[in-house]
Amino acid sequence: MTTTEHLIDTVEHAASTPEHAQPYRELGLKDDEYQRIRDILGRRPTDAELAMYSVMWSEHCSYKSSKIHLAYFGKTTTEEMRAKMLAGIGENAGVVDIGDGWAVTFKVESHNHPSYVEPYQGAATGVGGIVRDIMAMGARPIAVVDPLRFGPADAPDTRRVLHGVVAGVGGYGNCLGLPNIGGELVFDASYAGNPLLNAGCIGALRVEDLHLAHASGTGNKVILFGARTGLDGIGGVSVLASDSFSGDEGGAGRKKLPSVQVGDPFTEKVLIECCLELYREGIVVGIQDLGGAGLSCATSELASAGDGGMHVWLDRVPLRATGMTPAEVLSSESQERMMAVVKPSDVDAFMAVCRKWDVIATEVGEVTDGDRLVITWHDQVVVDVPPRTVAHEGPVYHRPIERPADQDALQANGPESLTRPQSAADLRALLLRMISSPNLASKRWVTEQYDRYVRGNTVLAQPADSGMVRVDEQTGRGVALSTDCNGRFCKLDPYQGAQGPGRGVPERGLDRRDAAGGHRLPELRLARGPGRDVAVRAGHQGPGRRLRAAGHPGHRRQRQLLQPDRQHGDPAHAGGRRARRDRRRRPAHPDRLRHGAGRDAAAARRHPRRVRRLRVGARRARPPRRPSAAGRPGAGAAAGRGAGRGFPRRHAVGGARPVRRRPGPGHRRVLPARRDRRADHPARGCRPVRAAVLRVGRPCRGRRAAQRGAPLHRDVHRAGAAVGAHRCGGQGVDRAGDPGPRDVPP
């Protein structure tokens, strides 16, 4: 054969060249794993088959080291759990029935190594991947969370990774229009060089709209839709290294792009709406997102979970780069792609919906009646494998368990060994060291980069202990979500740390949701902790046992200071993102959930005295102004302020300082005017249309116009949060104090 014929390694060529050496070690496969592949196929694998097995048998996709432990949670599932659980382990995300025909789906997934190599894109695509998992279940994503772990805050490498990760999470999530309602930010020396990025997403769907990833129905068509396939992310889930971190995708001799995927949130936003319309039309038999391992994962998992085989024409895949080989096309992790199984009679309707949303859709295969996954490249067979051996029957390992040598000394270093302050100066120095810890400092600079109230369904978000979003406006049904992990407890004792001694992971998370008035849903358990692996036998049973034993979590939480290294206090707990003192909590009022109090609720928590007389979140008719007292100027203004003595005189409630008797910065004294017009000025008792949440700048300059009785209009500020109604003919002033027209029709 010529060199050109050898360029594409076909099944026929592989069968005739059993002695051909292949770089399986460079792809992360061990000798026994490669030999097992040869035994399954009865020949050596082709280059495309080797690429598929290497990525699908990687730790990222197969969980070959943790699968044996994660199976414990499936074995301990009770009948009460099964009654509400619509989908569990093995699907793209978990789905739980919450009543009234509604269900929620949620998942947390890590994206650690890509976020360290390329912080912004690694974090952004971590959010995008978890959102597509929620989409693949037939749900609309409604909120995201981001538990983060980094090394010491003052380390140069931490500064490089931290700002990129935060910007990536916020940039991708904000563009998708998804509120970020919770998360964590913890610094510890154990995470130096190994940051943890966990992205979580929750979605809402009707029970009848649930979709699963399976290819069933012989003759049904397989359609790939979304973005084009490029060279980005090749080998991202394995050790398939890239030649260079720069290069052009087009032309001969091009270099590979980095193994970190490149995300496009605007394409994904369109893809979300396209998928939701396809679900409403009822023309999707099965669907799978393309993330880690790309087409290798989507095709093998769909075929493995179905009742037949699959034939794929790989050369039909829309490409973004020229000269890509079959192995590269199968391994590419280009983002914003989905694969669906559709009946032949619904293909035209499917394509029409994709054209409506300007989404590229291509028919790339069909479901067959066999049990093989066959992939061809220009009529040459490059893959012919049993799909289950690729997707679900990978190797499983029992890793050796070893107790770290310093574990006993670490556990012996308890509170009794801490040096007690002997004087007021010592106590002051200790207090200053604690409050200077980045784990106890405010995380506001992080949360302000996230949009917490987009879509208008957020009831609670940072800095609340638990995020809460509305699911259904008619019934007022909503869901609360929080993430939590005390890595120091898990480092001291994985078993007790997973159970949560005192204020551990599962119970503390239940406390947060209970504080928000929510019912308990199945837990999301993450096996993570600072430092090297600490394994103890049956340590994974901790969370399940504590949850089953707990009747109802208490409302109070004890804050325990744990300082094994005598440097930092206990990390700030999740969701709240800052230390808070214990206080009694009560469930959220149904009106707040039904009407989505969101920003108004945040203003009420920050300034309870200023809005205590307002019904936060519920819109009520504006009460009629009482007539002014006979001959007393300004009495109408006092009546307009109503019963709320602490109500500020400006029309921006949240964050605005009350106007004092004496004029100060940003305030202009109201000159005497006619008694029936003076009360209409916003600084003299105008009631807002609704409670505002953001601080505004100086009051508007419409004093003289107010005296003339200008028509009613709305004063809309730049942030779109402070909305007031008053009689003013002048110009409004934005947050920066710059004058500009703000008149819009009421």
- Would you list the DSSP string of 143-197? EEEEEEEES-TTSHHHHHHHHHHHHHHHHHHHHHT--EEEEEEEE-GGGTT--EE
Is this structure's pTM higher than 0.75? no
Give me the chain's average pLDDT, please.
Answer: 72
- Taking residues 321-334, report their average pLDDT: 91
Which strand (E) or helix (H) includes residue 344? none
1-82+212-243+257-397 shares its CATH topology with 92-211+440-501: no
What pLDDT is attached to residue 500? 64
CB atoms within 10 A of CB 51: 26
Length of the chain in terms of residues written: 746
CATH topology (fold) of 1-82+212-243+257-397:
Phosphoribosyl-aminoimidazole Synthetase; Chain A, domain 2 (3.90.650)
What pLDDT is attached to residue 406? 85
CA distances from 620 to 99, 441, 574, 615, 623 (A): 29, 39, 35, 8, 9
- Taking residues 452-468, report their average pLDDT: 88
593 pLDDT more than 50? no
- Under the banding of pLDDT at 50, 70 and 90, the label for residue 530 is very low
Just list the catalytic residues: 60, 111
- Taking residues 226-240, report their average pLDDT: 73
Burial group, residue 32, by CB count within 10 angstroms (0-12, 13-18, 19+): exposed
CATH code for the structural domain at 92-211+440-501? 3.30.1330.10
Phi-psi region at 193: left, alpha or beta (left = phi > 0; alpha = psi -120 to 50): left
- Tell me the per-residue pLDDT of 62-117, one tens digit each, with 9 for 90 and over: 889 888 888 888 888 888 888 888 888 878 888 999 988 899 999 998 888 888 88
- Parse the chain into domains and list their residue ranges: 1-82+212-243+257-397, 92-211+440-501
User: Among 80-84, 278-282, 473-477, 638-642, which is the least confidently predicted range?
Assistant: 638-642
Q: What percent of the chain has pLDDT over 90?
A: 35
Residue 45 has, within 13 A of its CA and on its CB side, a CA count of 25
CB atoms within 10 A of CB 730: 18
- Under the banding of pLDDT at 50, 70 and 90, the label for residue 237 is low
- Taking residues 565-587, report their average pLDDT: 38
What pLDDT is attached to residue 233? 76
What pLDDT is attached to residue 496? 81
CB atoms within 10 A of CB 289: 27
What pLDDT is attached to residue 311? 96
Whole-angstrom distance, CA of residue 497 vs CA of residue 507? 11
- Taking residues 146-169, report their average pLDDT: 92
Looking at per-residue pLDDT, the higher value among 419 and 196 belongs to: 196
Residue 64 · residue 312 · CB < 8 Å: no
- Under the banding of pLDDT at 50, 70 and 90, the label for residue 42 is very high
What pLDDT is attached to residue 135? 93
- Tell me the per-residue pLDDT of 333-380, one tens digit each, with 9 for 90 and over: 899 999 999 999 999 999 999 999 999 999 999 999 888 999 999 999
- Tell me the per-residue pLDDT of 629-680, one tens digit each, with 9 for 90 and over: 444 444 444 444 444 444 333 333 334 444 444 444 544 444 444 444 444 4
- Under the banding of pLDDT at 50, 70 and 90, the label for residue 508 is very low
